[in-house]
Structure 1
Amino acid sequence: MKKLLILLLSAIKLSICAQIGINTKTPKSILDVNGDMNLRGKLSVPNAANNQLTTGVNDQILVSQGEGYPPIWKTLRIPDYEQNKFYLIFSNSFSDRTGVKFTSSEESTNGASISTSLVKNTNISALNLFRKISSLSQPFTLYSATSKMYFQFETVVQADFPSNGNPDISIDYACGIFVDDKLVNLRQRNIKASSATNTFITHNQIGIAENLSKGNHTVSVACARLKSYNSSATLGIGINVATNIDSFITQSSLKVDAYEVPEVFNPVTN
């Protein structure tokens, strides 16, 4: 009886304070297994919602919640990708109400050499007086070398023109979509005075970039005033320059979609 009591007390003490090592003399946790382990029965973890043990359901995995918190069961959803097909990997949209303004003295010198200076992959640093619309500069990440990027930019352009006269009153301007500060798409337009004062127009632009390098990138939109015709009016792109419209109406938006051909196909086994 005395031996049995000693053995029982030793077991209780071991269960309270000891660390158990299997195939190791220096366990680093309550149970430290140095080697393979086969589990033939159920595995249960506490459920924080009801403080009961749960074994999860079919196809769930255990996910760590960090130090001091019990793991939880999560359902693993793996998309079914087919090789050599494009899939939408990233999609987001952004808006801006600050826009950019240009006076008649702030015309880009690129207006005189559009066909040679406003060409694909030109760095924005080489373009004169192109100004970024601040909140439309945004990061994105690509995971495949085979990709297609779609950019859709929309804004409102206004000039504080008087009513149109003879000869016509108008302004040429341009907006470019840039990736990592390199030009991937450009649209040039003209805003013309009408019978009413303070003319405004809607500007829509879609750009495409293919097979960018894997990793982190930044998309941005920048615009410039190119040339004025019989006008000293102020030009606003994405911002109003007169009170017949406001910043809500003139705000800019940018939609970014990334399609990729996935490069890694991991087999999923049950």
Structure 2
Amino acid sequence: MKHSISILFLAAGLSLSAQVGINTDSPNAKLDVNGDINFRDKISVLNVMDNTLSQGNNDQILVSQGEGYPPIWKSLRIPEYEPNKFYLIFNNSFSDKTGIKFTNNEHSSIAAKNTAFTKGANISSLPGFKKIAGLSQPISVFSTDSKTYFQFETVVQANLPVNGTPDISIDYACGIFVDDKLVNLRQRNLKASSAASTFITHNQIGIVTNLSKGQHNVSVACSRLASYRTASDVVLAIGINADTNINSFITQSSLKVDVYEIPQVFNPIIN
């Protein structure tokens, strides 16, 4: 009987007053409860599309749509992961059409390349390396157990003449960096061919394990290492054309990043 009278008084209070407070003298809403609430039956939400009351479905939760809008029911999905297995958590790809160029006077001053080109070398210790601007991008890592794969592709060209004897060629190198630390490097030689302004496709795949959790910056930088029998006006171009027999669309660079992790933090998906 007492419960029935209390409910009647509460209903009457709500109808007579703009705001009612329970355990508070200054309510901030039509019903302001300062304390715990136990629901023993159901919760219904107004569906503004057809003015019906919706109780939602099993395992759904109420999600706010912001001030002035009623909450709506949403399904909460948490991906199922098997322990100690790697899953693709982050992946992205980037492109660049600006590229970088090196004149005949822009050779790297690195003398002992076998000791300079080591894993973890800072880009500041590698003079002559230039970054490809559009490939400098942030990536995210969410677990301490991870494997990050990089796939870099570009076109390398020089306005070389037709080859002679001995060969006319240029040595160059490209490195993949994480937080300006070298994680992968490839050194190659561009040799003049039977046609002028020769070009080659450069492919490079790298991997680094167990990056620290958080955001990192990945970048690609290249350098002109040495030239053999080249004229003073010969330009080495990476990710951009050095002559008109190809264009910037053909020479553009791309970088693909895949981060595989053993999940430690689960990010719920709401739809």
**Structures share a fold, TM > 0.5?**
yes
Q: Any residues of structure 2 matched to 1:179-258 within 5 Å, and which?
A: 179-232=178-231, 233-258=234-259
SS in 2 for 1:76: strand
Task: Give the partner amino acid of 2:166.
Answer: P
Match of 2:141 in 1: 142
Q: 1:240 to 1:14 in 2, by over 3 A?
A: same
Match of 1:69 in 2: 69
> Cα distance, 1:174 vs. partner?
0.4
Match of 2:163 in 1: 164
Aligned residues: 257
Task: Give the partner amino acid of 2:104.
Answer: S
Alpha-carbon distance in structure 1 between the residues aligned to 2:135 and 2:95: 6
Match of 2:3 in 1: none
SS in 1 for 2:15: helix
> Cα distance, 1:41 vs. partner?
2.9
SS in 2 for 1:94: strand
Task: Give the partner amino acid of 2:177.
Answer: F
Alpha-carbon distance in structure 1 between the residues aligned to 2:102 and 2:240: 11
CA contact (8 A) 2:173 2:224 kept: yes
Alpha-carbon distance in structure 1 between the residues aligned to 2:51 and 2:100: 57
CA contact (8 A) 1:156 1:239 kept: yes
Q: 1:69 to 1:128 in 2, by over 3 A?
A: same
Which consecutive unaligned segments of at least 5 residues does structure 1 have? 1-10
Task: Give the partner amino acid of 2:31.
Answer: L
**Bigger mean CA deviation after superposition, 176-185 or 55-64:** 55-64
Task: Give the partner amino acid of 1:137.
Answer: S
SS in 2 for 1:109: coil
Q: 1:99 to 1:32 in 2, by over 3 A?
A: same
Task: Give the partner amino acid of 1:57.
Answer: N
Alpha-carbon distance in structure 1 between the residues aligned to 2:87 and 2:49: 37
Which consecutive unaligned segments of at least 5 residues does structure 2 have? 1-10
Q: Any residues of structure 2 matched to 1:25-44 within 5 Å, and which?
A: 25-44=25-44
> Cα distance, 1:50 vs. partner?
4.3
CA contact (8 A) 1:81 1:265 kept: no
Could you state the TM-score of these two structures normalised by the residue count of structure 1?
0.89
Alpha-carbon distance in structure 2 between the residues aligned to 1:135 and 1:51: 51
Q: 1:251 to 1:264 in 2, by over 3 A?
A: closer
Match of 2:120 in 1: 121
CA contact (8 A) 2:13 2:20 kept: no
CA contact (8 A) 2:190 2:200 kept: yes
SS in 1 for 2:77: coil
Could you state the TM-score of these two structures normalised by the residue count of structure 2?
0.88
Alpha-carbon distance in structure 2 between the residues aligned to 1:234 and 1:265: 50
> Cα distance, 1:52 vs. partner?
4.0
SS in 2 for 1:207: strand
RMSD, aligned CA: 2.1
Alpha-carbon distance in structure 2 between the residues aligned to 1:49 and 1:92: 38
Aligned-pair identity (%): 69
Alpha-carbon distance in structure 2 between the residues aligned to 1:68 and 1:171: 66
> Cα distance, 1:82 vs. partner?
1.8
Alpha-carbon distance in structure 1 between the residues aligned to 2:137 and 2:266: 29
